[in-house]
A and B are shown apart, each in its own frame.
Chain A
Amino acid sequence: MTHLGYVLGGYLLTAAVLGGYVLRLRSRSRALARVTAPAGGGAPVPADSPPPAGERTR
């Protein structure tokens, strides 16, 4: 591989790693945003939160 090949590889790797990190931050914040969104009226009931264990087993 020529020098330029290595150089481009390095730049692409950097871009990929940084981009991947940004995407991960974004997806995690979206998931959390749903969980922490304030509900209207009454108690906050986050639609996506799993029910505590054993709650519906009667």
Chain B
Amino acid sequence: MTTASRATRVLGWAALVTLALTAWLALIVSPPDVTQKDAVRLLYLHVPTAWLAMYVSFGVTTLASVLYLWRRTRSRFWDLAAGASAEVGVLFIGLTLAVGSIWGRSTWGVWWTWDARLTSTAVLFVLYLGYLAVRRVPSDPEVRSRRAAIVALAAFVDVPLVHFSVEWWRTLHQPASLLDERRLFDPQITGTMAFTLVLGVVAFTLLYAWLVIHRFRLARLEELADERQLADALAERRAEGAPTSAGESAGTEAGSARVDAPPVEAVGGPVAP
């Protein structure tokens, strides 16, 4: 059993091809920027990952969380989808921050700048790291899923607040040099550059879809494995409590069958599930 299927193979190849095409256009064909020279080529990575993460990935997580919480559409599907999308989203945001940092370093000489967008992105990153942490807390699956869904909504509600507060903070009463910083991440884009950017967004969207599907199926497998382990453990308990003659009853591990079963008190009788 793997997480691949014909759909994902097609999707995967499409993603790979468009990504390769984007890289070729980005690195070789498209022109360098007037002011930033070659550094602008990082735009074609930074912007797609940022958009995908913020609008698509966390949007899906929020939507899926709502659907999970709403009784009429409640299903494990939505919980797993929310988690898968969030994990890929966090990955993409991490890349956005890293590439943005490299970009800033190559043009401005600093590894970080408190530009409004980078700052908001950093807060977003930590917000959804927290969401992923909540998903990992050991707990009853239903309770954990519901808790995670509500945390996702609480985080989503915070996003516009973070955006506005950081935006105002960095643009009200700021000296002109800081405004120049913003132009770093907003170069004039025309012609080939625009096309490369759009292609990049398409490529990363395909990649996002491919990754989320695989991650979702992996999560399904994990749930199956947990259920299987639980079923096995229960079957063993039942077999242990069974009378001696049925010591080799079906459903137990091969090595545990013993003809002379120990006295009942050692086992404590059959354990009700």
Q: In the complex, A touching B, CB below 8 Å?
A: yes
Q: Which residues on A are within 8 Å of B, measured CB to CB?
A: 1-4, 6-11, 13-14, 17-18, 21-22, 25, 28-30, 32-33, 35-37, 42-46, 49, 51-52, 55-56, 58
Contact, CB under 8 Å: A30 / B2: yes
> In the complex, how many angstroms separate the beta carbon of A52 from the nearest chain B beta carbon?
5
Contact, CB under 8 Å: A43 / B250: yes
Contact, CB under 8 Å: B233 / A14: no
A22 / chain B contacts, CB cutoff of 8 Å = 211, 214
Interface string of B246-265 (1 = CB under 8 A from A): 00001111111010001000
Contact, CB under 8 Å: A7 / B221: no
Contact, CB under 8 Å: A17 / B94: yes
Stretch at the interface among B117-125, B159-167, B222-230: B222-230
Interface residues of B, count at CB 8 A: 50
Is B127 an interface position by the 8 A CB rule? no
> In the complex, how many angstroms separate the beta carbon of B4 from the nearest chain A beta carbon?
9
Contact, CB under 8 Å: B258 / A21: no
Find B1's partner among A4, A6, A17, A33 (CB 8 Å cutoff): A33
* Distance between Cα atoms of A58 and B240 in the complex (Å): 13
Contact, CB under 8 Å: B221 / A33: yes
Contact, CB under 8 Å: A7 / B39: yes
**How many inter-chain contacts with C-beta < 8 Å in the A-B complex?**
115
* Beyond known contacts A4-B38, A13-B99, A35-B228: 11 more, CB 8 A cutoff: A3-B107, A6-B102, A9-B102, A11-B27, A14-B49, A14-B95, A17-B91, A36-B224, A43-B250, A45-B254, A46-B232
B236 / chain A contacts, CB cutoff of 8 Å = 52, 55
Is B136 an interface position by the 8 A CB rule? no
Can you list 26 A-B contacts (CB < 8 A)? A2-B38, A3-B38, A3-B107, A6-B103, A7-B38, A7-B42, A10-B102, A10-B103, A13-B95, A14-B45, A22-B214, A25-B211, A29-B214, A29-B217, A30-B2, A32-B218, A33-B1, A35-B225, A35-B228, A36-B225, A44-B231, A49-B228, A52-B233, A52-B236, A55-B253, A56-B255
* Distance between Cα atoms of A8 and B42 in the complex (Å): 9
Contact, CB under 8 Å: B3 / A29: yes
> In the complex, how many angstroms separate the beta carbon of A18 from the nearest chain B beta carbon?
7
B73 / chain A contacts, CB cutoff of 8 Å = none
Contact, CB under 8 Å: A33 / B2: yes
* Distance between Cα atoms of A46 and B1 in the complex (Å): 13
- With contacts A11-B45, A42-B251 taken as known, whether A25 is within 8 angstroms of B1 at the C-beta atoms is no
B1 / chain A contacts, CB cutoff of 8 Å = 33, 36-37
Closest to B102 in A: A10
A7 / chain B contacts, CB cutoff of 8 Å = 27, 38-39, 41-42, 106
A25 / chain B contacts, CB cutoff of 8 Å = 3, 211, 214-215, 218
